[in-house]
Amino acid sequence: MITLALSKGRIFDDTLPLLRAAGIEVLDDPETSRKLILPTSRPDVRVVLVRASDVPTYVQYGGADLGVAGLDVLLEHGKGPDGGGGGLYRPLDLNIARCRMSVAVREDFDYTAAVRHGSRIRVATKYTQTARQFFAGKGVHVDLIKLYGSMELAPLTGLADAIVDLVSSGNTLRANALVEVERIADISARLVVNPVSLKLKREALRALIDAFEAAVQGVAR
């Protein structure tokens, strides 16, 4: 049995066409079913539904053989695009769930001046590790405030001067009178694989990874 970890929503929806191109249909709809283990048209392949940020954990510890996780989640887990930081085999860029991780502030906040004057900046984010590294690399002093959602609210209420969050269209920022002032990383979802699984289930996993790779190229064309 091969177990693939996905999160509900964007990642699940964007992975379905790739699975389909690889000849695999998921036989349940996570939006209507309460099941957390979904069978597929391949009797030897099943999908498990986990929180987006739990995908690397499931794959690293073998709760799933492979999974789809955003680069944002991998970076925050200390795993780079090449799997550096350990525990996962060479992530394949699936080119789905594309967005960017950016710094945003209120339209009336002078970020450039704050950085230039060496002021301490209060930054609210879900991505505290990534933000810490980014600002340390720039030599900017920051106080980080961990949030789990609605990051846009932080600068509007005075909780923080800036946020680090994912941006795609920029509509949410605009709707809340925030502006993007720096891009930290381009984000897309990656296929991550447990290295032990790759040894023990070599043939089956290799075929599946190759099918994903071909599907990504097919969709890109």
Residues at the contact surface with ligand ATP, assessed by CB under 6 A: 7, 9-11, 51-53, 70, 72-73, 97-99, 166, 168, 187, 189
Measured from the CB atom, the residue of 42 and 98 that comes closer to ligand ATP is: 98
Matching residue, tokens 């955003």 = 70
Burial (Cβ within 10 Å: 0-12, 13-18, ≥19) of residue 4: buried
Q: Where are the beta strands (DSSP E) in 41-88?
A: 45-49, 66-70
Measured from the CB atom, the residue of 119 and 172 that comes closer to ligand ATP is: 172
Q: Could you give the 3-state DSSP secondary structure of residue 155?
A: helix
Measured from the CB atom, the residue of 42 and 100 that comes closer to ligand ATP is: 100
Report in angstroms how near the CB of residue 91 gets to ligand ATP at its nearest.
Answer: 12
Backbone angles phi, psi at 5, to 5 degrees: -90, 125
Measured from the CB atom, the residue of 73 and 209 that comes closer to ligand ATP is: 73
Report in angstroms how near the CB of residue 59 gets to ligand ATP at its nearest.
Answer: 14
Structure tokens at 12: 């699940």
C-alpha span between 155 and 140 (Å, rounded): 18
The residue whose Cβ lies closest to ligand ATP is 70
Report in angstroms how near the CB of residue 6 gets to ligand ATP at its nearest.
Answer: 10
